[in-house]
């Protein structure tokens, strides 16, 4: 029973460390990349904020986006327009761009999307995981993660110090 407790504790500490590393990696990529949509391991990750692509994509989902050399009708793309990111489906190919529409919208987007504004194609959807990405970017969550990490480090360090003192 005691061994299982140690394994469980070690797994908890490793999970916390992994989570902290991912938080730091996401922050570093977001802050230092200078890109509108940071790339990590060849893919970009984006949390969905609206329901314009329901039922295919829901608010709170996490999108995995990959830059492609070309895009076709039916592809779901993410593009930048006036500093805002939008993810919609290509309805038709236009000269130099794409005619797009959100699946839940009744009409197509007013302006065709120029090819140079396309940031990538949605290649994966992880339901509800976008909520976690948004939380990870929250200053409160970042503070909690660092405080928890510091507490774990201090507690394990004190326990080691106490064990050394008892033996020595």
pTM equals 0.68
Q: Are 62 and 75 in contact (CB under 8 A)?
A: no
Tell me the per-residue pLDDT of 101-120, one tens digit each, with 9 for 90 and over. Answer: 999 999 999 999 999 999 99
Positive or negative, the Cα torsion across 118, 120, 126, 132? negative
Q: Which residue has the higher pLDDT, 10 or 72?
A: 72
φ, ψ dihedrals at 48, nearest 5°: -85, 130
pLDDT band at 121 (very low <50, low <70, confident <90, very high): very high
pLDDT at residue number 163: 58
pLDDT at residue number 58: 97
Non-local (6+) Cβ contacts of 163 within 8 A are none
Helix residue ranges, H only, the chain: 2-32, 129-136, 139-167
pLDDT band at 142 (very low <50, low <70, confident <90, very high): confident
- The mean of the pLDDT values for the chain is 83
In angstroms, the CA 121 to CA 99 distance is 15
Positive or negative, the Cα torsion across 164, 165, 167, 168? positive
pLDDT at residue number 127: 92
pLDDT band at 12 (very low <50, low <70, confident <90, very high): confident
pLDDT band at 79 (very low <50, low <70, confident <90, very high): very high
Q: Is 26 left (phi over 0), alpha (psi -120 to 50) or beta?
A: alpha
pLDDT at 6 over 90: no
What beta strand segments (E) does 22-110 contain?
Answer: 44-47, 62-66, 76-81, 84-94, 97-101
Tell me the per-residue pLDDT of 47-61, one tens digit each, with 9 for 90 and over. Answer: 899 999 999 999 999
pLDDT at residue number 136: 72
In angstroms, the CA 71 to CA 83 distance is 21
């Amino acid at each position: 029973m005691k061994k299982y407790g140690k394994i469980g504790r070690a797994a908890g500490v490793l999970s916390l460390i992994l989570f902290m590393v991912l938080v730091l990696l996401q922050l570093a990529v977001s802050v230092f990349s200078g890109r509108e949509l940071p790339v990590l391991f060849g893919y970009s990750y984006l949390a969905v904020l609206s329901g314009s692509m329901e039922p295919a994509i829901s608010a709170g989902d996490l999108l995995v986006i990959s830059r492609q050399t070309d895009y076709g009708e039916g592809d779901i793309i993410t593009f930048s327009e006036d500093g805002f990111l939008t993810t919609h489906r290509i309805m038709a190919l236009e000269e130099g761009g794409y005619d797009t529409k959100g699946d839940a919208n009744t009409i197509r987007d007013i302006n065709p999307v120029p090819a140079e504004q396309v940031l990538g194609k949605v290649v994966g959807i992880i339901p509800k995981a976008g909520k976690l990405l948004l939380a990870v970017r929250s200053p409160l969550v970042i503070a909690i993660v660092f405080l928890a990490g510091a507490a774990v480090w201090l507690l394990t360090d004190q326990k080691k110090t106490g064990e050394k003192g008892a033996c020595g």
